[in-house]
Amino acid sequence: MYLGIETSSAVSSVALMDTTKLVGELTVQAGLTHSEQLVPHIELLMQQSGVAKSDIEGIAVSIGPGSFTGLRIGLGTAKALAYAWQVPLLGVMTMDVLAHNFWQWEGLIAVMIDAQKKNVYEGLYRWEDNQMRCVQEPTVKVRTDALTTLGELKEPVTVVGDGIIKVAATVSDFGTNLTVGPTTMRIPRASSLLLAALPRFLRQEPDEALTVAPYYIRRSEAEVVWDAKHPELAAQMKGQEPTVVVTEAAPALSDEVPHA
């Protein structure tokens, strides 16, 4: 049994899956913070599914790009549980998660995650040879430029992710080949996270828990502002690990999750 944790956006999603079926999933967009709802959701899902902590063989967690705060909370929780339960931890790109909503989908899948200031993180995927393949690695683009380029392609393109929420109604204006994914499929879900992670779990290729870190692509706004206010210190720290990358473990949560 595997636990999936997805907190890269405003969506909080947790799921339980074994090698043959989805056992349970709880996905909520209620406006609450992940710090308020993540652990209670894990506890509720395990109770309702009749799953004990001793049943968990591995944990998969979304690592971004996405919300800086959400990723820290999700990854901190996943690390704490993996340590407490002594199970493997696996980090999965948020774009891979969104793409796996579209199992056996025809056409190009364009994943766009909000990068603020009219920019998006864009990754392109295609279902080929019975698996989801990434055909363009995540990169930062101006949203209108990305949509214009996609609209010039000679094939159907399905656009998903919170990066197109503000322009969803006008996406087809950039090209008649562009459509927005269905409402339930345009958000990252923990079940799709586990679909992406399962092959690696079965190959016994988990990440080293201490080395799993959020994948931000670019630095946070807070760091940019800090550097502008402290140019000399910023120059000295150039090349060092970003301060926003999680290195500390979250408080142990094992006692808050049902025991066998």
For residues 132 and 159, membership in a common domain is answered with yes
Burial of 39 (0-12, 13-18, 19+ CB in 10 A): buried
Hey, which bits of the chain come out as E strands? 2-6, 12-17, 22-28, 58-62, 89-92, 108-114, 119-128, 131-142, 157-160, 178-180
pLDDT average, residue stretch 12-25: 96
C-alpha distances out from residue 120 to 18, 140, 213, 229, Å: 34, 6, 21, 26
- Its domain, for residue 42, covers 2-95+189-256
For residues 118 and 165, membership in a common domain is answered with yes
The pLDDT value given to residue 116: 87
Domain at 158, CATH number: 3.30.420.40
pLDDT average, residue stretch 1-29: 95
The pLDDT value given to residue 236: 54
For residues 114 and 243, membership in a common domain is answered with no
C-alpha distances out from residue 13 to 34, 152, 166, 170, Å: 10, 34, 22, 28
- For residue range 90-149, what is the model confidence (pLDDT) as tens digits? 999 999 999 999 999 999 999 999 998 899 999 999 999 999 999 999 899 999 999 999
Q: What is the pTM of this model?
A: 0.82
Q: How many domains does the chain have?
A: 2
Question: Which DSSP string do the residues of 115-135 spell out, in sequence order?
Answer: -STTEEEEEEEEEETTEEEEE
Q: Are 32 and 10 in contact (CB under 8 A)?
A: no
pLDDT average, residue stretch 233-247: 41
- On the question of pLDDT at 71 being above 70, the answer is yes
The pLDDT value given to residue 233: 56
- On the question of pLDDT at 237 being above 50, the answer is no
Candidates 155, 163, 109; CA nearest to 136 is: 109
For residues 179 and 198, membership in a common domain is answered with no
Query: Where a domain ends, among 185, 206, 237?
Result: 185
For residues 181 and 206, membership in a common domain is answered with no
The pLDDT value given to residue 35: 82
- On the question of pLDDT at 255 being above 70, the answer is no
For residues 81 and 196, membership in a common domain is answered with yes
Contact residues for 16 (Cβ-Cβ < 8 A; gap 6+):
1, 2, 3, 4, 22, 23, 24, 25, 45, 46, 49, 51
For residues 66 and 177, membership in a common domain is answered with no
- For residue range 36-58, what is the model confidence (pLDDT) as tens digits? 889 999 999 999 999 999 999 99
- For residue range 176-234, what is the model confidence (pLDDT) as tens digits? 999 999 988 999 999 999 999 999 999 988 776 777 888 786 554 444 443 455 566 54
